[in-house]
Amino acid sequence: MKFNHILVSGCSMTSGAGLAEGRDDPALWVNIIAKSLDAKITNVAVTAGSNQLIFEEALTGLATIPTIDLLIVAWTIFPRFRFYPGNDNSRYIVITPGHTLDEITWFNGNLNQRDSNTLSRILLSLDEDVHNFTQLIRYSTILSRVAKSMNIPIVFVNAAIPKWSTDFFIRKDYTLNGGPVLLDELTKQLIQVSDRPDNDIFEIYNKIHNEFERMGDICLTKWANFDTSLYSLGIDKAIDNNHLGPKSNALYAEIILTHIKETQCQL
């Protein structure tokens, strides 16, 4: 299947952060893919972008660029919050696990570094991963249906999603097969099974899957790498010693190109 114009949305792993030429660097995995497919590329990835922003940029691209004939969406780590405390959209705060904030000084009511990081911890503690998984299903379903209505194939990429598995999305009647001990590890973690009685566990489990089913389908066949994130496969560092380097990007491109060639990106 021949592609002429690829739209790509993602976070810093897709925007070229850390590479010498940024999003124009020939070593960036999406540029390797575009060159291999002899296609033009429009890269709307945003460094430190959340999955909500990745979704919005992908949807906006589909709505405004009529020549797109392949969409690649690389989902990122969560939780990740992005705030704009002033009128300048180029200045923002990113709150995500493991990220230390500096003093916030560009809006009325400055926060020192200690208070900034206290705020970060509070916001992260209020966010439940079940919501983030459900949100990702919603985003994937919407993009899949919109792309299909436009006859545009779509490829989902696990760029940096925390560890999950296909078992997590499959509803099973564990009450007939040994109880909570047989739940997949991610579900055990999210429900906190060691702190709850069985009845509460099954009630929460069913609520989670009712919500999954209401949101739609995770679209497994459209994922190039569902279970293992690209980030976890990284084998070298970029010049900023933070993001992934050229060898890692070459590996990422190989994984996604293999998926594209094997599936022919069926709608």
Domains and CATH numbers, the chain: 5-79+127-165+220-263 (3.40.50.1110)
pLDDT of residue 56: 97
Whether the CB-CB separation of 21 and 15 falls below 8 Å is answered with no
- The answer to whether the predicted template modeling score (pTM) of the entire model surpasses 0.95 is no
Evaluate whether 83 touches 164 at the Cβ level (below 8 Å): no
The reported pLDDT for the residue numbered 73 is 98
Q: Residue 123: its pLDDT value, please?
A: 85
Task: Please answer whether residues 10 and 157 qualify as being in contact, where contact means their C-beta atoms are separated by less than 8 angstroms.
Answer: yes
Buried-state track 83-111, b at ≥16 Cβ within 10 A, e below 16: eebeeeeeeebebbeeeebeebeeeeeeb
Burial track 127-164 (b if 16+ CB lie within 10 A, e otherwise):
eeebebbbbbbbbbeebbebbeeeebbbbbbbbbbeeb
Opening angle at CA 41, ends 67 and 89, nearest 5: 95
Measured CA distances, 16 to 178, 198, 255 (Å): 47, 47, 18
Amino acid type, 264: Q
- What is the structure's pLDDT at 151? 95
Residue 107: the pLDDT is 55
Query: Can you tell me the distance from the alpha carbon of 233 to that of 241, in angstroms, rounded to the nearest whole number?
Result: 16
**What Rg, from alpha-carbon coordinates, does the chain have?**
20
Residue-by-residue pLDDT tens, the chain, 267 positions? 789 999 999 999 999 999 999 999 999 999 999 999 999 999 999 998 999 999 999 999 999 999 999 999 999 998 888 888 777 777 788 888 877 776 666 556 677 788 888 888 888 888 878 788 888 888 999 999 999 999 999 999 999 987 777 778 888 776 656 677 678 888 887 777 888 888 888 888 888 888 888 877 778 889 999 989 999 999 999 999 989 999 999 999 999 999 999 987 665
Q: Which residue shows structure tokens 């705060």?
A: 93
Q: Is 194 exposed, middle or buried (0-12, 13-18, 19+ CB in 10 A)?
A: exposed
- What are phi and psi for residue 153, nearest 5 degrees? -65, 150
Question: What is the structure's pLDDT at 220?
Answer: 85
